A and B are shown apart, each in its own frame.
Chain A
Amino acid sequence: MFKKTISSPHIHSPSYSTQGMMFRVILALLPAVAVYAWLFGWGVIINLLLAVGVALSCEAAMLTVRDRPLLPTITDGSAILTALLLVFALPPLAPWWLTTIGVAFAIIVAKHLYGGLGFNPFNPAMIGYVVLLVSFPRELTLWSLPAQLSEHTLDFGSTLNYIFSGTLPAHLGIDALTSATPLDMMKTQLGLGHTTSGIIAAHPVFGFMGGKGWIWINLLLLAGGLWLIYRRIINWHIPATLLGSLFAISLLFFLLDPQHAPSPLFHLFSGAAILGAFFIATDPVTAATSNIGRLWYGAGIGILIYVIRSWGGFPDGVAFAVLLMNMAAPTIDYYTKPRVFGHGDRDA
């Protein structure tokens, strides 16, 4: 009798699965998504559904083309997560083609052309975002105002109409609905020679610790991220050093020149710093994998975010910072191998 031999271990922990990890990350994002939609309107929901649809279609198409089993991959939640993260990075009233191009590029090029889940060196959502940022910079700056600041709100029908046909109700212009993001505003105004306190006082987009409305989204993202650490879906190392280094470097410049450098809290709670720290930089496929490596990796992203925000050409730097450190991850891993049991100090 020939019996297939099975090698040990014969048991597997029921609490670990790739699918389970992905869906917990999605779950941790949902409260923030809900508040995002509540503050910024129907556009978030419409774009979200569109992005998920495009992501799953592209995933299915690529798996078919690559002759890979469809079901285990399409249900693993990774494509949905990519779509979700990208929607967070796009303006709520982004036109349909913008979302579609970003998601399709992320899934088809950044993920599958590199070999699919687990083989992509760069974070697909960030690649998708950066492609849009360099190709369509104008569209990405048209950010709608949070509900509490806007005098006009779009109902579901007109939002849908705007996203898919680009036409607004007769009495409204796009300028009435959108404004620059807090980070964008800060950068532009500082460039015009204003001081931080003056800018914050003069423009209603700024609120307590950052942009109005954004604070709630960021607090929920923070809560979701901490929950992921508690559930051991992600490790604490990357978020800790990412936010820590961003805080430290912004504090340094803030102390040197508070009138021209925004406060550390402004840096942490505006833009995508929290989202990046807990949900983007922690993407295990593209991050450093040893714990010491993760510390360096997170710190590198934090500092790059500050550098790009302060001296770079874009208002936020999370995407570029993450992609740059993605590139450095293999090298970081190489130089941060842990000391193996029974070995002296690791001789490189």
Chain B
Amino acid sequence: MKRWSFHGGVELPGHKQKSTTRPVESAPLPKQLILPLSQHLGAPAEPVVNVGDKVQKGEMIAKPGGFVSAPVHASSSGIVTAIEELPVPHPSGLYAPCITIKTDGKDTWLNREQQTDYRQLEPALIRERIREAGIVGLGGAGFPAFIKLNPGKTVKTLILNGAECEPYITSDDMLMRERADEIVQGLLIMQRAVQALHCIIAIEDNKPQAAQAMQAALQQIGTVDTGIVIVPARYPAGGEKQLIKVVTGQEVPSGGLPIQVGVVCQNIATAAAIYRAVYRGEPLLSRYVTITGSAVAEPRNLEVLIGTPVRDLLDSCGTDFTHLQEVIMGGPMMGIALADHEVPLVKTGNCLLALKQGEIELHPTVVPCIRCGNCADVCPVNLLPQQLYWHARSRDFDKTQEYDLFDCIECGCCAYVCPSNIPLVHYYRFAKSEIRSQQEQKRKADIARERHEKREQRLAREKAERAARHARKKPGTDDETKKAAIQAALERARASKPGTPPDDV
């Protein structure tokens, strides 16, 4: 199948072999599960349990907080011990509301509704199942999966993203090797949901075993309109818009969605979760997680219950905590450095990367930008990162927008190659958040101004009305009318004197 390419990108050392040597096993059942209410993009979920409630595995403990939202389920059976703010995986190290479950060790399931043939289900019902199962994009963004599966337009190509382009991460690789059939079934369910004309499974060329397994599964299940495309391992080939470009040659318009070019893109782990939700009635309770890095004695992939504390996972793979410098959730290019090891693993957590001290330079000496343009050469969006940096640095935010700041996907290629060690992405995040808060302030100011203007108008109108009323009353009080009224009254009195009182009294 024909492939295209995207501008820039970098070839990164993979570090992927170490974590693929052992088969995937389930992580030990943790004593405690911490389930944040916001593990997805959109409104946080709302708790439907109380402290002290007994919950079973698979039971919904928080309902969607809006349309763009996802429910949260108990990943194992136990007792709700707290609903409170706890540290969560977030770049700022913020606390957020979580439901804590003390597991009972029995792992008892709630009754599961079995569904064997997805072909009997209407697309809308499939989406409802996926929504109820709390499935979000497992590749990292965490966008509720059912929304993408309701495109409202003809879907030419459904792309399954198995590129997994970040170094170290192998969870999708292992999932494809071990559960290819589930992924393919999940893909077919999604194809039915969006009525896609054909499907493409995109896999980077550094995962030949995964590609083989997927090919075998496709043959076994016997699909005709699905093909596997091997894409060159070049970061960020797994970025949604980059992958769509590579596979279809089309560019998703700036600020637009893939559906505008007739494409829906989902991650392969999402497909497997959809299979489990639709066939077996299992909500999203666990995922494959790569636990690797120089501080980990036994790098590997584990199937992890959502909500398992990161420390438990690091422990179970023999992590050297004394020489630990940094634990990153996600990959080294876009992952989040965890401020705390007690945070739970969330739905989007595909990897825990534990790095030894000295492996990454924490505060390298930053020297001035010499405008070498390496950053522009590697930018997959074809921006001019050095110009964005100048303008962000001088807080010239209009200029940053002129240079299309908001097209930046924060992939980190520019900072990776910057010879001056400038934390470029940091500057872009700063500029973006400043612009957003300025816009928010402007919006509020506009509302306030509008309100003020309306109030002024209202006051002016009321004043005018009062004046008008006043003016209308005035004719009723001048002398002539008074005289006329007196005159009329006298005449009425005169007329009524001789005879009977008038009818109108």
Q: Which of B364, B371, B426 has the most CB of A within 10 A?
A: B371
Distance of A328 Cα from B340 Cα, bound (Å): 51
Is the CB–CB distance between A285 and B335 below 8 Å? no
Across the interface, name the chain B residue whose C-beta is closest to A287. Answer: B371
Distance (whole angstroms) from the CB of B185 to the closest CB of chain A: 33
B60 lies within 8 A of chain A by Cβ: no
Is the CB–CB distance between A9 and B333 below 8 Å? yes
Q: Out of A3, A5, A118, which one reaches B369, CB within 8 Å? A: A118
Distance of A165 Cα from B268 Cα, bound (Å): 78
| A-contact 0/1 string along B456-485, CB 8 Å cutoff | 000000000000000000000000000000
Is the CB–CB distance between A341 and B6 below 8 Å? yes
> What number of A residues sit within 8 Å (CB to CB) of B?
38
Is the CB–CB distance between B91 and A289 below 8 Å? no
Which B residues are CB-close (under 8 A) to A285? 370-371
Binds B, one of A11-19, A176-184, A201-209, A308-316: A11-19
Is the CB–CB distance between B340 and A1 below 8 Å? yes
Which B residues are CB-close (under 8 A) to A72? 365, 367
Which A residues are CB-close (under 8 A) to B386? 289
A73 lies within 8 A of chain B by Cβ: yes
Q: Out of B93, B367, B381, B419, which one reaches A73, CB within 8 Å? A: B367
Is the CB–CB distance between B415 and A340 below 8 Å? no
Is the CB–CB distance between B256 and A342 below 8 Å? yes
Chief secondary structure at chain B's binding surface: loop
B374 lies within 8 A of chain A by Cβ: yes
B252 lies within 8 A of chain A by Cβ: yes
Which B residues are CB-close (under 8 A) to A73? 367
A117 lies within 8 A of chain B by Cβ: yes
Is the CB–CB distance between A18 and B416 below 8 Å? no
CB-contacts of B314-343 with A (<8 A) = 326, 328, 330, 332-337, 339-340
Is the CB–CB distance between B376 and A290 below 8 Å? yes
Across the interface, name the chain A residue whose C-beta is closest to B408. Answer: A340
Across the interface, name the chain A residue whose C-beta is closest to B420. Answer: A18
Which B residues are CB-close (under 8 A) to A119? 368
Across the interface, name the chain B residue whose C-beta is closest to A118. Answer: B368
Is the CB–CB distance between A342 and B372 below 8 Å? no
Across the interface, name the chain A residue whose C-beta is closest to B167. Answer: A11
Is the CB–CB distance between B333 and A340 below 8 Å? no
Across the interface, name the chain B residue whose C-beta is closest to A237. Answer: B373
Which A residues are CB-close (under 8 A) to B373? 235, 284, 289-291
Q: Out of B253, B364, B429, which one reaches A342, CB within 8 Å? A: B253
Is the CB–CB distance between A118 and B254 below 8 Å? no
A132 lies within 8 A of chain B by Cβ: no
Q: Assess A9 versus B334: contact at CB under 8 Å? Given A284-B370, A342-B407.
A: yes
B7 lies within 8 A of chain A by Cβ: yes
Distance (whole angstroms) from the CB of B123 to the closest CB of chain A: 29
Is the CB–CB distance between B254 and A342 below 8 Å? yes
A21 lies within 8 A of chain B by Cβ: yes
B423 lies within 8 A of chain A by Cβ: yes
B24 lies within 8 A of chain A by Cβ: no
Distance (whole angstroms) from the CB of A318 to the closest CB of chain B: 21
Is the CB–CB distance between B371 and A5 below 8 Å? no
A59 lies within 8 A of chain B by Cβ: no
A138 lies within 8 A of chain B by Cβ: no
Distance (whole angstroms) from the CB of A231 to the closest CB of chain B: 13
Is the CB–CB distance between A340 and B383 below 8 Å? yes
A171 lies within 8 A of chain B by Cβ: no
Across the interface, name the chain B residue whose C-beta is closest to A283. Answer: B370
Is the CB–CB distance between A341 and B407 below 8 Å? yes
Distance (whole angstroms) from the CB of B20 to the closest CB of chain A: 20
Is the CB–CB distance between A338 and B384 below 8 Å? yes
Is the CB–CB distance between B425 and A9 below 8 Å? yes
Distance of A336 Cα from B7 Cα, bound (Å): 16
Is the CB–CB distance between A5 and B368 below 8 Å? no
Is the CB–CB distance between A16 and B368 below 8 Å? no
Which A residues are CB-close (under 8 A) to B404? 340, 343
Q: Out of B326, B365, B416, which one reaches A9, CB within 8 Å? A: B416
| B-contact 0/1 string along A1-34, CB 8 Å cutoff | 1010111111111001110110000000000000
B504 lies within 8 A of chain A by Cβ: no
Which B residues are CB-close (under 8 A) to A18? 367, 370, 419-420
Which B residues are CB-close (under 8 A) to A290? 373, 376, 384
A116 lies within 8 A of chain B by Cβ: yes
Distance of A20 Cα from B417 Cα, bound (Å): 13
Which B residues are CB-close (under 8 A) to A333? 384, 387
A339 lies within 8 A of chain B by Cβ: yes
Distance (whole angstroms) from the CB of B230 to the closest CB of chain A: 22
CB-contacts of B258-315 with A (<8 A) = none
Distance of A3 Cα from B425 Cα, bound (Å): 20
B361 lies within 8 A of chain A by Cβ: yes
B205 lies within 8 A of chain A by Cβ: no
Is the CB–CB distance between B407 and A11 below 8 Å? no
CB-contacts of B375-395 with A (<8 A) = 376-377, 380-384, 386-387
Which A residues are CB-close (under 8 A) to B336? 8
Which A residues are CB-close (under 8 A) to B505? none
Is the CB–CB distance between B370 and A117 below 8 Å? yes
B500 lies within 8 A of chain A by Cβ: no
CB-contacts of B228-261 with A (<8 A) = 241, 245, 251-256
Distance of A21 Cα from B337 Cα, bound (Å): 30
B418 lies within 8 A of chain A by Cβ: yes
Distance (whole angstroms) from the CB of A73 to the closest CB of chain B: 7
A337 lies within 8 A of chain B by Cβ: yes
Across the interface, name the chain A residue whose C-beta is closest to B90. Answer: A5
Distance (whole angstroms) from the CB of A233 to the closest CB of chain B: 9
Across the interface, name the chain B residue whose C-beta is closest to A16. Answer: B419
Across the interface, name the chain B residue whose C-beta is closest to A116. Answer: B368
Which A residues are CB-close (under 8 A) to B419? 16-18, 20-21
B215 lies within 8 A of chain A by Cβ: no
| B-contact 0/1 string along A279-305, CB 8 Å cutoff | 000001101011100000000000000
Subset of 24 A-B contacts with CB under 8 Å: A3-B339, A5-B339, A8-B328, A8-B330, A8-B333, A8-B335, A8-B337, A9-B415, A10-B326, A10-B335, A12-B416, A13-B417, A18-B367, A73-B367, A119-B368, A284-B371, A285-B371, A289-B373, A290-B373, A340-B254, A341-B251, A341-B407, A342-B252, A342-B407
- The 10 closest A-B CB pairs, nearest first, are A9-B412, A118-B368, A342-B254, A284-B372, A341-B381, A16-B419, A11-B332, A9-B333, A18-B419, A10-B332
* Chain A residues within 8 Å of B, Cβ to Cβ: 1, 3, 5-13, 16-18, 20-21, 72-73, 76, 116-119, 235, 284-285, 287, 289-291, 333, 337-343
Given contacts A8-B410, A9-B412, A16-B374, 20 further A-B contacts (CB under 8 A): A7-B91, A7-B337, A7-B425, A10-B337, A11-B332, A12-B361, A72-B365, A118-B370, A118-B371, A284-B372, A285-B370, A285-B371, A287-B371, A289-B373, A289-B387, A290-B373, A338-B376, A341-B381, A342-B255, A342-B381
